[in-house]
Structure 1
Amino acid sequence: MTALIRVDAQPGRERPLVIAWLAALVALSWACPVFRALHISTVEPLALPPAQGSTPHPTARLRWCWCWPCGGAMLSAMMLPASTPTILLFARLNRLVHAVRHPNLATLLFVIGYLAVWSGFGACATLAQWALHDAGALDPGMAMVNPNACGLALVAAGVYQWTPAKHACLQGCRAPLSTFLTGWRPGLAGALRMGFGHGLYCTGCCSLLMALLFVAGVNNLGALVGLAALVLAEKLLPGGTVVACIGGLGLVAWGTLLLFP
């Protein structure tokens, strides 16, 4: 791929456009969880299970259909800011390679491939949330009511922060240049595949952290901001791996307090 790179007479001219529409996308994505968090008390709670032997109200099931896109928007709001440098790097390389006629479209497809992975994760999380709801395991704030389950989830997420798998995926997110140079895929389909591949790295890095929303509640705005800040620090700060390990210790300590109060 490096043999195809040519000197650009106007370096970096793709950055303002990419940053602008990424900022707009992040703002729209954050609007959904903020709206839900601020207005959750004005709507009928989703997490109240139906009475035994009764049929769920049709509007309650209809609202479940909106959980997936809302969850996808929530995940996009949390993950896109930390992935912005990688997206900018792809846009820069894609323009230097001149592999496609419309490089901005290729960048858009890269982002779509990336978000497709998190959409799949959100779909699985929605199904799990639905099952927990029907089992009566969630409170009206959409958080698990069993403290032992919450403690185990926190300990599992904290331990994973120290594993080689976590650090390998984190390194792929923090330093994607080597992955781009060795696994470059030309064309629009290649951009989509590369975005999907980066999404897999990102999911392997942060999926257990995102699963902690079952502990705090998907309508807990403070938890959303806190997890987003932890992901941002892991991926962008110079000592990101150290931040991940320190965060893991905190999660293990918190989970232990729930398991052994």
Structure 2
Amino acid sequence: MSGPTPTGVAGVAGHPAGTLGLWPQVRAGRLFLALMVALVALAWLGLVVWKWSPYGGYLNHGAHHGTQFSGAHLQLLGFFVAAWTLMTVAMMLPTSLPLVAFFQSLVRERSERARLVALLVTGYLGVWIAFALVAHSGEQAIQAAVDRNGWMGANAWVIGASTFVVAGVYQFTGLKYRCLDKCRSPVGFVLAHWRGRREGFEALRLGAHHGIFCLGCCWSLMLLMFAVGAGNLGWMLALAAVMATEKNVSWGRRLSAPVGLVLVVSGIALAIAGFAGAETQQFGNVRAIVGPGPVTTSLRHGAYRLEFGIQPNRASVPNTVALRIGRAGRPVVGADITATLTMLDMSMGSQTYHLGESAAGLYRISTPALVMSGRWGISFQVRPPRRSRFDVAVLDHASG
């Protein structure tokens, strides 16, 4: 015997409770779909602009490490929540677009349809933001342990490798597939949770319920953003494509196992690279190992004398990187100098900056690039006027 038809569902109960048969029912909502696509596009645009702004370093989770609870801590936490909300809209909202679109078609005759859709999306985003805060707290605790433990500080790659392996193994679990099946049946999910009596509360609850199943399906993949850095747009695009395919393509369910295998193998590869010290081999021209704490050290390269400094050499606060260059007792003016900073303990990508000449032979830049404590490779590319370029690298340990 069939159950009661939810209020406002006339004419749709005969359709299959899955993605198939969904789109003919929402053709009348093309403007709504266009608005949703525009919202997602704006989120991606916001992330790109943020990434390349002077505050781009704060997209990475490590930028919030080491700050005591204070006004500055709350400001950094605000940065984190804003960044994660943009990420969720950009990455997760497209995976749930069929459910949101069907719900909009269901309530389009109601006077408060816009509010109901907004409540649905709010409930959905709220679950992901709550997850982010929990994961952020866990990450802070792990980083604090890394700072206190000498072995972990020297082998922080274990965290990244473990995250990949955990994410990969979860792809094979029954819980993953049970939650994925719920996400792949948006029509049935809405009809099971919507009665339309206390419409505001039900819309919010529906979004939250769907968010919980979506979280159960994808939490491990989103956790990878803590390993690779939330500012890594390439990873964001790749993971968003995987999750959207898993949920909304007919063969998407079969993608989960291959993705899990790739992640496990990648985690093992990271572990092997960590054991072998492969991540520091790219800095074969290391001239000094410095830190923790403020750094001032002298280096030589042929006829050149270089004085390198970094203040205060701490994560989560702006740092000044400076390089003074002299030759034959005279300052080298008009040189072109760039500095490439690479986090060696975790795969976060490199950041390159151009150092401006603030005085004769003194080149410097202030940057928040040291977004987490641990080992950093700082490689300087120096091109003196009318002379050949040379590279000098420093291995730095930034404190929390």
TM-score scaled to structure 1, two decimals? 0.81
Q: How many Å apart are 1:23 and its aligned residue?
A: 2.0
Is the Cα–Cα contact under 8 Å of residues 72 and 122 in structure 1 kept in the other structure? no
- Please tell me whether residue 163 in structure 1 is matched to residue 173 in structure 2: yes
Aligned to 1:257: 269
What is the CA-CA distance between 1:42 and the residue it aligns to? 7.0
Question: Greater share of helix residues, 1 or 2?
Answer: 1
Q: What CA deviation, in whole Å up to 9, does each residue of 1:44-80 have, x standing for no partner? A: 8963966xxx989965763343211211211221101
> Which of the pair is proportionally richer in strand?
2
Distance 1:104 1:49 in 2: 39
Q: Is the 8 A contact 2:184 2:248 kept in 1?
A: yes
Whichever residue aligns with residue 103 of structure 1, its letter is R
> What CA distance in whole angstroms lies between the structure 2 residues aligned with 1:101 and 1:222?
41
Query: 1:20 aligns to what?
Result: 34
Measure, in 1, the Cα distance between the counterparts of 2:250 and 2:174.
Answer: 19
Q: Indicate the SS of the match to 1:6.
A: coil
Which residue, out of 89, 93, 98, partners 2:106? 93
Residues 49/245 of structure 1: CA separation in 2 closer, same or farther (3 Å cut): closer
Opposite residue 170 of structure 2, the aligned amino acid is Y
Sort the Cα spacing of 1:188 and 1:55 in 2 relative to 1 into closer, same or farther, 3 A: closer
Paired AA for residue 136 in structure 2 = T
2:87 aligned to which of 41, 57, 74: 74
Which secondary structure state, in structure 2, belongs to the residue aligned with residue 2 of structure 1? coil
Cα deviation, residue 105, structure 1: 2.3
Matches of 2:207 and 2:236 in 1, distance apart?
24
Q: CA deviation at 1:248?
A: 0.5
- Change in Cα spacing, 1:3 to 1:74, as seen in structure 2 (3 Å) is closer
Residue 250 of structure 2: aligned partner: 238
Partners of 1:48 and 1:13 lie apart in 2 by: 44
Does the Cα contact within 8 Å between 1:48 and 1:136 map onto a contact in 2? no
Q: TM-score normalised to the size of structure 2?
A: 0.55
For the residues of structure 2 that align with 1:7 and 1:182, how far apart are their CA atoms?
Answer: 16
* Aligned 1:194-205 pairs, distance under 5 A: 194-205=206-217
Give the secondary structure class of the aligned counterpart of 2:53: helix
Select between 243-252 and 85-94 the one with higher mean Cα deviation.
Answer: 85-94
Q: How does 1:9-48 map to 2 (within 5 A)?
A: 12=26, 15-39=29-53, 47=63
Is contact 2:146–2:156 with CA below 8 Å preserved after alignment? no
1:2 maps to 5
Question: Aligned Cα RMSD in Å?
Answer: 3.1
Gaps of 5+ in 1: 138-144
**In structure 1, the residue corresponding to 2:195 is in which secondary structure?**
coil
State the AA in 2 paired with 1:123. L
Which moved further from structure 2: 184-193 or 164-173? 184-193
State the alpha-carbon separation in 1 of the partners of residues 126 and 68 from structure 2: 33
Equivalence for 1:224: 236
1:168 to partner: Cα distance: 0.8
Helix, strand or coil: the match of 2:48?
A: helix
User: Residues 176-214 of structure 1, C-alpha deviation per residue, up to 9 Å, x if partnerless?
Assistant: 222222332321211111111101110111111000112
Checking the alignment, whether the CA contact within 8 Å between 1:169 and 1:202 is kept in structure 2 is yes
Q: Which has the larger radius of gyration?
A: 2
Aligned amino acid, residue 236 of structure 1: N
Partner Cα distance (1:21, 1:40) in 2: 30
- Separation of aligned partners in 1, 2:234 and 2:242: 12
Is contact 1:158–1:249 with CA below 8 Å preserved after alignment? yes
- Please list, as runs of the form range in 1=range in 2, the aligned pairs for 1:99-114 lying within 5 A after superposition: 100-114=110-124
Q: Which amino acid aligns with 2:5?
A: T
8 A Cα contact 2:126 2:208, kept in partner: yes
| Contact 2:6/2:195 (<8 A) preserved | no
Once the two structures are superposed, residues 80-105 of structure 1 have per-residue CA deviations (whole angstroms, 9 ceiling, x without a partner) of: 1111111111122334xx6x432232
Q: Distance in 2 between matches of 1:229 and 1:122?
A: 20
Percent identical: 33
Counterparts in 2 of 1:104 and 1:157: CA distance versus 1, 3 Å: same
